[in-house]
Amino acid sequence: MKIGIIICDRYKKCAGGKCFKAMQNREGAFDIYSKEETLETVGYTTCGGCPGGNIEYAPEEMIKNGAEAIHFATGFIVGYPPCPYISHFKEFIEEKYKIPVITGTHPIPQKYYITHKNLKTWDSKGWGEILKPTLCNEELRKQYD
C-alpha cells in the first residue's frame, strides 16, 4: 500500500517521527492496514499554509508516485486551533482525485487530548468522525506524548 502524508504548514519543520512510528507499528490511523501489508510513503509535504494552497496540487504528484490513500497528519487535529479547513480539504481531494483521505496519522498525544477536552475544542459537529482514526485509548495516547 502506498500512501501520501500531508501535514499542517505550521509544523513544516516536523521530521515525521510520530507519524512514521505509528505507520511502522500500525497504530492510530494506520491500524486500518494489516501488519503483513507493506506500507510505503510516496509523498510527504505541507498543506502550503492557510488556506491550503498545496491541497490542490500535492495529491496529483502523490498519485503519480503510486499513492492509493492520503493521510492528513494528526497535527491538523491537535494544533490550536485545529485546522478549520480539514473537512473541506478531505472533500476536495476525494472528489477531484478519487482517492481516500484519512484524517490522522499517529494517535493523539494524551497531553493534547486533555487540553482539547477541557477547552471543548472538538465538541462541535463533525469532529467525532475526524477524531475517530486517532483517538485510540489512553495508554496508547500516553505513548505519543
Q: pTM of the entire structure?
A: 0.95
Do 141 and 105 form a contact (C-beta atoms < 8 A)?
Answer: no
Instruction: Please give the average per-residue pLDDT across 33-42, as a whole number.
Output: 96
123-141 pLDDT, tens per residue?
Answer: 988 999 999 999 999 999 9
Closest-CA residue to 111 (of 139, 137, 145, 78): 145
Amino acid letter, 100: P
For residue 86, the domain's CATH number is: 3.40.50
Total domains in the chain come to 1
So what's the pLDDT on residue 125? 87
89-120 pLDDT, tens per residue?
Answer: 999 999 999 999 999 999 999 999 999 999 99
Q: How confident is residue 122, by pLDDT bands cut at 50, 70 and 90?
A: very high
Range of the domain at 106: 2-143
Closest-CA residue to 19 (of 10, 9, 29): 29
Judged against a pLDDT cut of 90, whether residue 21 lies above it is answered with yes
Instruction: Please give the average per-residue pLDDT across 66-85, as a whole number.
Output: 97
48-73 pLDDT, tens per residue?
Answer: 999 999 999 999 999 999 999 999 99
